[in-house]
């Protein structure tokens, strides 16, 4: 530990010391910015409110060791900068006790998932982390390595006699951990905190598909019996705008704290967590930190995904095309703000049943005000990532319900035109599309236009070329509802001109 680095044992004067967990009660898969600014904060605040310190978190990060290398030298402690319109504040979080990188520490993670002291697994592995094919089924190729390890029954916690095969997927790692736990029969709750409709049920289906594929027939009966009797997969709606941390934000907080925090995360003041009250065993008293426990998350989840996330994606694509780096800058553009309002209030809001006690118009206005907050620095490019994984949840339901009600939602048509043009420009400029289905997307665009043409945007035969590739992009399997009529695709084509 060095004096100029934040650490559990080196807390700056003048700021409240973080909680010191006495046990690991939670394993979190997908520790990134959002978990650190949301679930870990709720867990910290619940420990402070109740004095229950048995809810230490072991974070797991699948894709890189960066977060481990940020937090391990700090004893797991990091700061959260809350960046509001009027003021900002810094809070130290001690609920994360360590971070494991499965490629090098699979055995440790499996042992933690099997440990009787672990009662909850939470996940923020991004929509693409659920390893699904376009029709929503588990992509068995993506979890093949883990299913082989499952079949091999590699022992957990061995000291090297039979090295455990490194995990290749979050879903595979989770299934192997549950398999390691099954023998004890110790109950556990698996709580996904990713932006998907019916997220808990989606995750349960994928876990069960993995078990059926990995341990077919009677081989898997013990594990299936354990899942039936001792494991629950509640749904949750999570909300707090948490952008990727910038070097400038780290420098700003270093000035304020007097020590360097490599694990800093930044969030807006607003936060909400609505959790289905269906736990297999003990859990932190998250309600003491403001979480809502309910029997039915769906109305909250649908309102948030359609009103916040759907508008967010529209602003991201149209804002990026207009040259705006941040969401806030895009919201300051009257043309974009108007389109955001049209989608939110005319397309999405009428498809919703308001959650009890929620005024959807006020909620919508609050969302637009949150987007306009320039202090988070949330970029259009970040929100624009992984569009094929987000569009079905954010615009797909609005489109289906609007069409069923006899409406053709102009705001959704505009949003899809903006997404398609974003894909086209990113492909033809050579920058590429940050999306797990990038290869498919780029192939569609390149089939209609020659990348790197006269204007660097391809030899487009006028809008005709663009219209063809937009229709081809929208026809990608699993993107739009199969019942989408041609008349709506015509509306999208009409909107191309407004985004070019
Ligand atoms: P991040 O990029 O900081 O962290 C993503 C985490 O997911 C990392 O640990 C990464 O290793 C893991 N991951 C990424 N791809 C994966 C894959 N294919 N398989 C397994 N693990 C994978 O992102 P951030 O901001 O933490 O957001 C993560 C998720 O949290 C989002 O995708 C969304 O579902 C949810 N969320 C994010 C909010 C935000 O404002 N950032 C707000 C509400 C929900
Ligand atoms: C954003 C979300 O990046 C995105 O797709 O729309 O991460 C958004 O910031 C959160 O859902 C807000 O709760």
pLDDT at 465 over 70: no
* Distances from the Cα of 36 to the Cα of 88, 138, 243, 304, 469, angstroms: 17, 28, 12, 20, 40
Domain that holds residue 495: 298-499
Verify that 312 and 413 share a domain, yes or no: yes
Q: Does any domain span residue 121?
A: yes
15 falls within a domain: no
Residue 403 has pLDDT above 60, yes or no: yes
- Whether the CB of 263 sits within 6 Å of ligand 1: no
> How many angstroms is it from 126 CA to the middle of ligand 1?
4
Classify 82 as helix, strand or coil. Answer: strand
Q: Ligand 2 mean position to 66 CA, how many Å?
A: 21
- Do 192 and 221 belong to one domain? yes
- Regarding whether 307 and 274 lie in a shared domain, the answer is no
CATH number at residue 362: 1.10.1040.10
Last residue of one domain, picked from the residues 258, 278, 294: 294
Q: Same structural domain for residues 290 and 307?
A: no
Which ipTM was obtained for this model? 0.99
Same domain as 334, residue 281: no
Counting atoms of ligand 2 from 1, which one is nearest the CA of 386? Answer: 5
Best residue among 82, 123, 126, 141 to mutate for probing ligand 1, ranked by most atoms within 8 Å of CB: 126
> Is position 235 within any domain?
yes
Q: Is the CB of 164 under 6 A from ligand 1?
A: no
Provide the domain count of the chain: 2
Verify that 259 and 240 share a domain, yes or no: yes
For 75, residues 6+ apart whose C-beta sits below 8 A from its C-beta are 1, 7, 8, 9
Q: Is residue 7 part of a domain?
A: no
CB 38 within 8 A of CB 273: yes
Q: Which atom of ligand 1 is nearest to the CA of 34?
A: 26
Given a contact cutoff of 8 angstroms between Cβ atoms, the answer to whether 140 and 203 are in contact is: no
pLDDT in tens, 341-377: 999 999 999 999 999 889 999 999 999 999 999 999 9
pLDDT at 163: 60
Give yes or no: residues 209 and 64 share one domain.
yes
| Residue 30 within a domain | yes
In a domain, 174, yes or no: yes
Domain boundary among 234, 264, 294: 294
In a domain, 101, yes or no: yes
Residues 266, 135 share a domain: yes
* 278 pLDDT tier (thresholds 50, 70, 90): very high
Q: Is residue 6 part of a domain?
A: no
| Closest to 276 (Cα-Cα) out of 204, 209, 175, 207 | 204
Q: Do 183 and 328 lie in a common domain? A: no
Phi, psi of 198 (to 5 degrees): 55, 45
Q: Say which CATH number the domain at 276 has.
A: 3.40.50.720
- Return the H-helix or E-strand segment holding 231: strand 231-232
**Percent of the chain clearing pLDDT 90 (strictly above):** 86
Residues with beta carbon inside 6 Å of ligand 2? 195, 239-241, 308-309, 312, 382-383, 390
Same domain, 110 and 238: yes
Q: How confident is the model at residue 156 (pLDDT cuts 50, 70, 90)?
A: very low
| 392 and 340 belong to one structural domain | yes
Q: Whose CA is nearest to atom 19 of ligand 1?
A: 129
Query: Cα of 179 to ligand 2 centre, how many Å?
Result: 32
Same domain, 289 and 351: no
Model pTM? 0.95
pLDDT exceeds cutoff 80 at 461: no
Choose which residue among 33, 34, 61, 99 to substitute to test ligand 1 binding: the one with the highest number of ligand atoms within 8 A of its C-beta: 34
Residues 414-445 pLDDT 10s: 999 999 999 999 999 999 999 999 999 999 98
């Amino acid at each position: 530990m060095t004096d100029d680095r934040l650490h559990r044992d080196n807390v700056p004067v003048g700021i409240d010391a973080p909680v010191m967990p006495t046990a690991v009660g939670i394993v979190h898969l997908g520790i990134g910015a959002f978990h650190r600014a949301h679930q870990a904060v709720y867990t910290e605040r619940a420990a402070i409110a109740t004095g229950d310190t048995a809810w230490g978190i072991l974070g797991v990060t699948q894709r890189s060791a960066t977060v481990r290398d940020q937090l391990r030298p700090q004893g797991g402690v990091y700061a959260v900068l809350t960046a509001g319109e009027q003021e900002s504040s810094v809070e130290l979080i001690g609920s994360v006790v360590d971070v494991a990188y499965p490629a090098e520490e699979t055995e440790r993670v499996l042992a933690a998932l099997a440990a009787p002291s672990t009662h909850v697994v939470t996940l923020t592995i991004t929509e693409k982390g659920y390893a699904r094919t376009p029709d929503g089924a588990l992509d068995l190729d993506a979890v093949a390595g883990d299913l082989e390890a499952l079949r091999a029954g590699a022992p957990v916690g061995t000291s090297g006699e039979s090295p455990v095969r490194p995990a290749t997927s979050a879903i595979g790692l989770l299934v192997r951990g549950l398999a390691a736990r099954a023998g004890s029969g110790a109950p556990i709750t698996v709580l996904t905190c990713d932006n998907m409709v019916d997220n808990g049920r989606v995750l349960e289906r994928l876990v069960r598909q993995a078990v059926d594929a990995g341990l077919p027939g009677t081989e898997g009966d013990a594990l299936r019996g354990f899942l039936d009797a001792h494991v629950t997969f509640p749904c949750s709606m999570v909300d707090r705008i948490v952008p990727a941390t910038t070097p400038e934000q780290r420098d700003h907080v270093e000035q304020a704290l007097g020590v360097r925090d490599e694990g800093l995360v930044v969030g807006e003041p607003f936060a909400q967590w609505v959790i289905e009250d269906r736990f297999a065993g003990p859990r932190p008293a998250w309600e003491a930190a403001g979480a809502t426990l309910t029997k039915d998350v769906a109305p909250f989840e649908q309102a948030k995904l359609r009103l916040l996330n759907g508008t967010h994606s529209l602003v991201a694509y149209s804002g990026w095309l207009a040259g705006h780096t941040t969401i806030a800058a895009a919201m300051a553009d009257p043309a974009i703000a108007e389109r955001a309002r049209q989608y939110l209030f005319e397309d999405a809001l009428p498809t919703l049943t308001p959650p009890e006690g929620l005024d959807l118009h006020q909620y919508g206005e609050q969302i637009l005000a949150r987007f306009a907050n320039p202090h988070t620095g949330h970029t259009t490019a970040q929100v624009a990532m992984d569009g094929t994984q987000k569009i079905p949840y954010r615009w797909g339901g609005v489109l289906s319900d609007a069409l069923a009600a006899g409406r053709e939602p102009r705001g959704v048509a505009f949003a899809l035109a903006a997404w398609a043009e974003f894909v086209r420009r990113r492909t033809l400029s050579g920058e590429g599309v940050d999306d797990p289905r990038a290869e498919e997307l780029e192939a569609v665009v390149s089939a209609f236009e020659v990348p790197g043409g006269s204007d660097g945007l391809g030899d487009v035969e006028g809008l005709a070329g663009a219209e063809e590739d937009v229709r081809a992009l929208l026809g990608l399997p699993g993107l739009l509802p199969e019942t989408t009529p041609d008349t709506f695709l015509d509306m999208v084509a009409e909107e191309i001109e407004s985004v070019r």
